[in-house]
Amino acid sequence: MVEEKFCQGCTQKSRCQEVYEHLSHIQRAGVVFKVILAFLLPIVVFIGSLAAFEEIFAGVIQSKELQTVIGLLLAFAATSSFTLISREINHCCENSKQEKRLKCGSPPARE
């Protein structure tokens, strides 16, 4: 009943099914890879680099507190670098895909 009242004021109610069918046929890349790249891999890089720096500095620096601080700073720098590099790679890949679509004559995908 609520849907019927909502659709009464719509100017596109006759084309509603056609629009949803068109949207269901749009080919889009999955977001799983982007989610992993954006959220999971930076955490893995941070933890891995923190463990690596901890191991490296264990024999070099005697103060445990200084080892922790330097390790955290370097792990943060490594994670930031990884994030910026992966962002640039993703951006370049997206641009090349759009260029290929434009060259082939297919319309650009909407975001």
Does residue 13 lie in a domain region?
Answer: no
Tokens encoding 29: 């890349």
Does residue 16 lie in a domain region?
Answer: no
Tens-place pLDDT, residues 21-36? 777 777 666 778 788 8
Nearest Cα neighbor of 98 from 83, 110, 86 is: 110
Does residue 83 lie in a domain region?
Answer: yes
Dihedral sign for Cα 11, 15, 20, 25, please: negative
Tens-place pLDDT, residues 98-110? 555 555 555 555 5
Full domain range(s) for residue 36: 31-111
How many structural domains does the chain have?
Answer: 1
Does residue 6 lie in a domain region?
Answer: no
